A = this chain, B = another copy of it.
Amino acid sequence: MSSQSNNTTLKILQDIVKIIVDENVLEPPENHPVVEFLQPEGLKNELSVDLGEDGTSHDELDKVLRQIARYSVKTSHPNFHNQLYGGVDSYGLAGAWLTEALNSSQYTFEVAPVFTLLECEVLRVALALFGYPKHPEGDGILCPGGSIANMYGMVLARYKRLPEVKTKGLSGSPPLACFTSQAAHYSIKKGAHWLGLGTESVYQIKTDDKDRMLPGELKKAIEQARKDGRLPFFVNATVGTTVLGAIDPLNEIAEICKAENVWLHVDACLGGTLVLSGERRDRLIGVEMSDSVSWNPHKLLGAPLQCSLFLVKGEGSLHKANSAAANYLFQQDKFYDVSWDTGDKSVQCGRKVDALKLWLMWKAKGTNGLRRAVDHAVAAARYFQNQIATRRGFRLVIPEAECSSVCFWYIPPSMRGLEETDEWREKLYKVAPKIKERMVMDGSLMLGYTPLSHKGLGNFFRMVVTCSPEAKESSMNFVIQQIEKFGHDL
């Protein structure tokens, strides 16, 4: 440790920057691989991952770090479309680096004075964009990912309906009921498990042909839950479902929740970024009627992972629900206004600073700059959708995507023009995994596939367009070419 003088620290960091540049981590050229895939055991043999008693020489360390960069997936590659994130924003990354260097926790103003202000500012603009009231009537917190953000919604809804559960627990309470669409994210189920509601408390509401929750079905399910002896307390509407990017009808759902006196949470982890869109902001009309909302700028918007916001209405609602008032951390006899300490609003104690990276992207580009990027991504997804719609051998799962994910099948030449029997379909559903395998082994392109079981649909591709790197027609076309290349003989 004693060798870590200032110069050594700087040297270590400069070496890392050099490796990142040399290995094309940040903006790999299109003709470089997205991934050099090795099977787990092969990768283990290639990399010197073992940790042991002795340290490692500088040269060895340099070698293994280059291998780490080399064999990691290049999520910033223009041909990475595999997840709902990808393509880290440069300013976001700079903010992440500065955050890491300043290494602090977000819990008190005392140790995070600037980060506290930046989090407030990020929450301020987010509240405004979603049509929520200003602080203190509107409040929020940055938290580690969308699943936990959704759990915040469930906990606050429960606390509002049954505040005594905080002290007494659920044991003596009536069984509760949550409602979410069949297309919604599994975090609602995981949340129901963790929070002691049980996964059977989750009523999965049927969806329409675009995979949007059917409000009539929601109404029926709430009635059914009451018949089942359960207390309905929480509806989750989704803005941007994981697979098709569907947006639930917020206005109608909000009306039902109001009439039924049920908390409305909106999981806008994916589609929340459309609040920044000029063209598609209208899809989110009604979100302002909800009680809480989750939004992950680390998805479509390109903020570095993790960047997840939870927003809520009701002055002090986060604090009241989550406070434990630990007096070694949240001393009330401090020399500043301790209402600036955010830690007791959180289920966490130490909390990673995630505000600076989003704040810096926003500061650098302005809302206008972010809006242009979002609209560009939406337009690029539309371009891709149009190509798929008209290209022989390709078939869209739904005619029009609401977010920037485009789902489609590729039908190889040998399967075209045949009767579409169950057998034919079984064969079709094996096409995407096979092409995917070939793609990854080739390393030129990464694109996900998935079934959609509740609609009885087997594997299809899900093409994801994000804000960064800026999507080009050439990279859209490349996806189609590569699928044809790897799939024409199937």
Contacts and interface: CB of A to CB of B under 8 A. Distances in A.
A55 B364 contact: yes
A424 interface: no
Contacts of A440: 110, 335
Interface string A248-291: 00000000000000000000000000000000000000000000
B347 A52 contact: no
A180 interface: no
A38 interface: yes
A19 to B, nearest CB: 7
Interface string A1-27: 110111011101111110111000111
A115 interface: yes
A69 B103 CA distance: 11
A196 B326 CA distance: 20
Contact of A173 (B124, B171, B334, B359): B171
A305 B13 contact: no
A16 B97 contact: yes
A408 interface: no
Interface in A152-193: 155, 165-176, 185-187, 189-190, 192-193
Instruction: Give the size category of A's interface with B.
Output: 35 or more
Contact of A304 (B100, B109, B349): B100
A467 B103 contact: no
Contact of A170 (B20, B109, B169): B169
Interface in A43-99: 43-44, 47, 49-56, 61, 64-65, 67-69, 71-76, 82-83, 85-86, 88, 90-91, 93-94, 96-98
Contacts of A116: 40
A329 B449 CA distance: 9
A298 interface: yes
B19 A364 contact: no
Interface string A352-367: 1100100110111111
Contacts of A55: 363-366, 368-369
Interface string A330-350: 010111110010000001111
Interface string A103-114: 111000111111
Pairs of residues from A and B, 8 with the lowest C-beta to C-beta distance, nearest first: A196-B196, A169-B198, A144-B144, A328-B450, A335-B437, A55-B366, A170-B196, A88-B103
A51 B359 contact: yes
A449 B332 CA distance: 12
Given A340-B40, A364-B55, A186 B103 contact: no
Given A40-B336, A117-B40, A326-B186, A93 B13 contact: yes
Given A12-B91, A85-B103, A198-B169, A1 B348 contact: no
A446 B335 CA distance: 13
Interface in A354-403: 356, 359-360, 362-369, 372-373, 376
Nearest to A41: B337
Interface in A111-129: 111-118, 121-122, 124-125
A352 to B, nearest CB: 5
A369 B2 CA distance: 10
A333 to B, nearest CB: 5
Given A111-B73, A366-B56, A186 B64 contact: no
21 contacts: A1-B376, A1-B470, A13-B17, A13-B97, A14-B17, A40-B117, A43-B113, A51-B366, A73-B111, A73-B112, A75-B103, A83-B105, A145-B349, A145-B350, A148-B148, A167-B199, A186-B324, A187-B349, A328-B451, A331-B451, A335-B433
